[in-house]
Amino acid sequence: MPYFIGGVITPQQRLLVATPERFRDYFNIEIRVNHEVERIDRENKRVDVRNRQSGARFTRPYDALVLSPGARPIVPEVPGVDLPGVFSLRQLEDAGDIYRWLEGKKVLRAVVVGGGYIGLEMTENLVRRGISTVLLEAADQLMLSLDPEMTAPIHAALSAHDVVVRLNSPLRAIEETAGGLQVTAGEGEKFPCQIVILATGVRPEVTLAAEAGLEIGELGGIRVDEQMRTTRDPAIWAVGDAVEVPDVVTGGFTRVPLAGPASRQARVAAEAICGRPSRFRGVQGTAGVAVFELVIAQTGANEKTLKRRNIPYTAGYTHSWDHATYYPGAELMTIKLLFAPDSGRVLGAQAVGGRGVDKCIDVISAFIQKGGTVYDLEEAELCYAPQFGSARDPVNIAGFVAGNILRKDVLPAYWSEWNAVWSDQPPLLIDVRTPGEHTAGAPPGAVNIPLGEIRGRLYELPKDREIWVYCNVGQRSYYASRILSQRGFRVRNLSGGYKSWLARKAVDRGSD
């Protein structure tokens, strides 16, 4: 829908993938729009229905009932959210309302509240229309489903298109002014605008289910079994954004309001109703979003979730090209891979870059669903040709890096640890890049010993002090760490190298 608002998808009717007439003609299914089910009579297997246009009421019996009420937007409880020009985006009608407002008004400035998927897509499409846009996020990072350091490229992409981003800036109030609207956020900062988009998430629509006595889980969704049957009534199923389902990685319940899982849930429910033993495997939150030229995708658990659930993990960062670099147009992508430190089971992955990001996450997602390990990623045989692949695909490289860690060929270090309060002296930080690279930019305190010189300069290095090595992306420093460890030095390789340091630095600066 944001891309219809931005003029990328036209006309609006293209967003309609089916119509009541098509369901009738193709499948002999009766679709009644503008009809609301007001009550479920579980004892008699009936539903009370109201025609929202005429007001007429009637009841319909059922043998099997499927609930798919979706979710409703979360609207902040602040003054002014009901003013003209303030919109949420959930339904196709909402997209039409926003489009007509933009077409009918002189909109020069916009404020988007919420830095998740919809907030980012709306920001991009408002900018496409030539509208100066401010993006407000109440938390200390954009895209809470990502780990903080992976959001640095998003900030860079937004900044390149003159988007003003404010973190730690919850919405305080919206008021009408002579020029349209004024938004107050954070510690009182004010933003004049002519439209406000509220993209602050969704909440499961479970009113009907709760009133019928169906079980509602701790996350606010309808509880179902592996066949999408509600836990308290074998004649009622539920699917989509309103349900809680198992998390493939953590084993707990979760809510993932995405079209892909909803479609699979609907198929499982339909087959179960027809007597087939289908089951829903669970979700892992595989999703992607584009922010101008940047692509972000993820699958499985992030580091924050694993910490919160006390699930042991190790992380690896890689920066790889989407295809062979000798073929023109290769684009760099960053992958963060999370995996179990004992078995190597893949727990999650996040990728940021350009072309090929979605492909890599799709591959890793399939391995996660089947309980795959980093060793499986090492051995994955993926499509190769110079124009769209490499002999060592980014997925393979992520597996190699993780496998090296698990085999103890290398001990990893992370930039998030660098600012720790050291009980002893801090590690010696060695930059194994070329002098030119080091001069162009390096972390404070780094000593430059290029990889090609390191064997001849071992006498400069202490054996009574830990050494951390880094290069640009982690490959040369891996070689250096092997050289040093084989000569008795205590050495760790900084995962992701200088590029990951830049991302960490940007995040630390942005959250100040």
* pTM, entire model: 0.93
- Distance between CA atoms of residues 512 and 508, nearest Å: 6
- Distance between CA atoms of residues 223 and 245, nearest Å: 7
Domain borders along the chain are 293-406, 413-510
Cβ atoms within 10 Å of 44's Cβ, excluding its own: 10
Residues 298, 370, 332, 497: what is their CA dihedral angle, to the nearest 10 degrees? 90
Options 3.40.50.300, 3.50.50.60, 3.30.70.660, 3.30.450.20; CATH of 293-406? 3.50.50.60
Residue 421 has a pLDDT of 55
Q: Look at the domain 413-510 and name its fold.
A: Oxidized Rhodanese; domain 1 (3.40.250)
CA 306 to chain centre: 15
E strands, 54-188, are: 57-61, 65-67, 71-73, 86-88, 109-113, 132-136, 164-166, 171-177, 180-185
Q: What is the DSSP string of 8-68?
A: SS-SGGGG----HHHHHHHH-----TTEEEEEEETTTTEEEEEETTT--EEEEE-SSEEE-
- Distance between CA atoms of residues 15 and 34, nearest Å: 19
Class of residue 367 by CB neighbours under 10 A (exposed 0-12, middle 13-18, buried 19+): buried
Q: Which is nearest to 163 in space by CA: 124, 212, 107, 191?
A: 124
Name residue 308's beta-bridge partners: none
Return the DSSP state at 417.
G
Residue 509 has a pLDDT of 67
Tokens matching residue 502: 């830049």
Residue 13 has a pLDDT of 83
Residue 505 has a pLDDT of 85
Q: What is the DSSP string of 216-227?
A: B-TTSSEEB-TT
Helix, strand or coil, per DSSP, at residue 251: coil
Q: What is the pLDDT of residues 8-59, one digit of tens each?
A: 998 888 888 889 999 999 999 999 999 999 999 999 999 999 999 999 999 9
Tell how strand 189-193 and strand 180-185 pair up: antiparallel
Q: Which is nearest to 471 in space by CA: 459, 482, 486?
A: 482
Tell how strand 236-238 and strand 253-254 pair up: unpaired
Q: Which is nearest to 197 in space by CA: 287, 117, 285, 140?
A: 117
Catalytic residue among 193, 360, 383, 471: 471
Does the annotation mark 471 as catalytic? yes
- Distance between CA atoms of residues 47 and 58, nearest Å: 8
Residues with pLDDT less than 50, the chain: 512
Residues 89, 90, 96, 99: what is their CA dihedral angle, to the nearest 10 degrees? 20
Q: Which is nearest to 211 in space by CA: 67, 85, 360?
A: 67
- The tokens 């809510």 sit on which residue? 255
- The upper half-sphere exposure of residue 471, i.e. CA atoms within 13 Å in the direction of its Cβ, equals 18
